Amino acid sequence: MACVVALSWAFVAACAGHPGSASLNSPQPSSASAATPATPIPTATASPSGPAQPTEAASPTPAVEPPSPRIDAGTAYDSARGQLMVFGGFDSSNNYLGDTWLWSGSWIRYPGTGPSGRRSAAMAFDPTHSVAVLYGGAGGCQPGSCSQLHDTWLWDGSSWLQVTSAHTPQLSPDVMAYDPSARSILMFGFVSPDCPSVGATCPSPHAETWGWNGSDWTQLQAMDSSSPIQRLLGYQLAMSHDPTTGRMILLGHVDSSTPNSWAWDGSKWSLIGQVGPQGYLFSMAGDPAAHTVVAIDPFGTWTWDGQRWNQLSVQTGPGKRQESGIAYDDHAGRVLLFGGLYHDVHDYWKNDLWSWDGHVWSQLA
């Protein structure tokens, strides 16, 4: 993979022609709605010396149609306001989306401006500060290069605020989740040094771990080249809190068939398992009500019980999915799964919404 300058899924699909990239123009179900164009980046930002200035505030508009089918949308559950949030993603027409959607029984679309259109943004809700945090993502790719973003945005329930903090990670790709023990956001990802030229031997990416305290990023750990975690494939990452052990869990692959599970103890990552979800581009969330972590991949539904992964025999549900949005709804005690790519005879782009109660999947929208 001589052209790799960043290991995000968006880049790998555009640059290397990964098997999943062939599905970008696959047939869609007839119910697929039209793609939503990305919104422009607002100019208002926040500085460390003053409060963040919100983008234009606007009342959410009840939607006749749900969000358009998409993959790689940023997803979080706003526990302060009881709403699932879905931002952006990538559609079958190769659009990088920049729309914001809220669900609390029905879909409503936020009509104001916010982050630029992107896929694979890291997003999580921070209950300590009652905001959703969004970082980075891929904002557009051409063969051989991608526009990798490193901006930080906050959603306060009514508008987006762009934050210019004293420190800015340069991670791409990356994943994040809220760490209850530290009362802050934990983010893991890879720094991909610039490649000297197309076709040249590129410097190897290196992994870093960062924390967000509500106003600034702090680097918590930089991995040396000898760390086994460096072997993880950047476009196959997921993170969540493990309600059974209280640790943060990182799931990744070192190749197409070897999953690795890692645990964060507050200062370092430790390898805790090498069996688990086999598929590319899985989604994962903690499920405190069921005392597990749940993951879904192109092979089905998996749960982590604090010691090992178990593949479940599920009769009904969203099926074999990849690149779906996922979040835990702590109001109803369930995991919510939105959209993604469904595998059957063909690949189908989806915009459906499912809930997992620890035993069965139920379709909500």
pLDDT, tens digit (0-9, with 9 covering 90-100), for 229-267: 887 876 678 999 999 999 999 998 877 667 889 999 999
Strand partners, 353: 338
pLDDT tens for each residue of 78-126: 999 999 999 999 999 999 999 999 999 999 999 999 999 999 999 999 9
β-bridge pairing 61-62 and 74-78: unpaired
Domain limits for position 70: 9-27+63-363
pLDDT of the residue at 29 = 38
pLDDT at residue 342 tops 60: yes
- DSSP state at residue 268: -
Q: Is residue 131 domain-resident?
A: yes
More reliable by pLDDT, 226 or 137: 137
Q: Is residue 189 domain-resident?
A: yes
- 263: tokens are 């645990």
CA angle 113–234–5, rounded 5-degree value: 80
CA dihedral 206, 169, 283, 13 (to 10 degrees): -60
Measured CA to CA, the distance from residue 342 to residue 318 in angstroms comes to 8
* CATH number of the domain encompassing residue 209: 2.120.10.80
pLDDT of the residue at 93 = 93
Q: Is residue 94 domain-resident?
A: yes
Measured CA to CA, the distance from residue 186 to residue 103 in angstroms comes to 25
Q: Is residue 167 domain-resident?
A: yes
Q: Is residue 22 domain-resident?
A: yes
pLDDT at residue 220 tops 50: yes
pLDDT of the residue at 315 = 82
Measured CA to CA, the distance from residue 241 to residue 248 in angstroms comes to 4
Q: Is residue 84 domain-resident?
A: yes
Q: Is residue 3 domain-resident?
A: no
SS3 content of the chain, % helix, strand, coil (to 5): 5, 45, 50
- 306: tokens are 């604090």
Q: How many domains does the chain have?
A: 1
